[in-house]
Amino acid sequence: METRGFDREAPYRRLSDTDLWSAFLRNCAHLTDIAAAAARDLSPDTEIVWTGRTVTAPFFAEHMREELILHRWDLTGDDRTAVRALNEPWMTEHSVVSVGRPLLARGRSALALAPDERFVARLRTPGTDDVVLTADTTTAGIRLAAPEGPPRSRATPPPDCSSCGAAVPPTPPAGTARRARRPCAGRGPSSVATDRPRPGSS
């Protein structure tokens, strides 16, 4: 089976904020029903063609869950529900393994590394494994690993999600407090250590 293209968003872009929120709630309920039906009726190996790659039905349900958690955080900020959900180990594992690897492979060419250059970075949140990224001219990798070495700098998050291309969310209904838009991260405050040697360096 195959998902629809992004042209499906066009009707929603024309809705008012109130109608868009109503459609969002209605489709969340529909998504819940579809995910439950897929778990009940489909083999776990059933393939779904999605944005140029093939995934399984369980992956798709988990990914939709992750998207809802991340973008709820975009709207609400660090409330108790968001922090508890973002700290779930499956969130980090899904982001690193299921999402990070394909995106890293796609973005490696933008680094424009020289033949003898190699990029290495560690993203760290206290109390959890590091997210380790590596890339050279032919390969790219992302994995979880035990913390190693002191952080070299502290990450400064962007003021919005322009770096990931995420659409600005609709204005919440009247009477709902809206926090400033937050960066797409999902692991809380983090520090980063990077190493990109220039050609000829050891």
In the predicted structure, residue 141 carries a pLDDT above the cut 70 = yes
Q: Where are the alpha helices (DSSP H) in the chain?
A: 10-13, 17-41, 57-76, 80-86, 89-93, 101-107
Rounded to the nearest 5 percent, the helix, strand and coil shares of the chain are: 40, 15, 40
In a domain, 1, yes or no: no
Q: If you average pLDDT over residues 43-49, what whole number do you get? A: 87
In the predicted structure, residue 161 carries a pLDDT above the cut 80 = no
Question: How many CB atoms are closer than 10 A to CB 73?
Answer: 22
- Per-residue pLDDT, 59: 87
The answer to whether the CB of 101 falls within 8 A of the CB of 180 is: no
The answer to whether the CB of 155 falls within 8 A of the CB of 190 is: yes
Q: If you average pLDDT over residues 1-22, what whole number do you get? A: 86
**Single-letter amino acid code for the residue at 12:** Y
- Per-residue pLDDT, 69: 93
Q: pTM of this prediction? A: 0.59
Residue 157, domain extent: 6-195
User: Does 67 or 157 have the greater pLDDT score?
Assistant: 67
- Per-residue pLDDT, 187: 40
User: Does 196 or 40 have the greater pLDDT score?
Assistant: 40
Q: Count of domains in the chain?
A: 1
In a domain, 201, yes or no: no
Question: How many CB atoms are closer than 10 A to CB 135?
Answer: 22
Q: Say how many residues make up the chain.
A: 202
In a domain, 200, yes or no: no
- Per-residue pLDDT, 14: 94
In a domain, 202, yes or no: no
In the predicted structure, residue 163 carries a pLDDT above the cut 90 = no
Q: What is the DSSP track for 58-82?
A: HHHHHHHHHHHHHHHHHHH-S-HHH
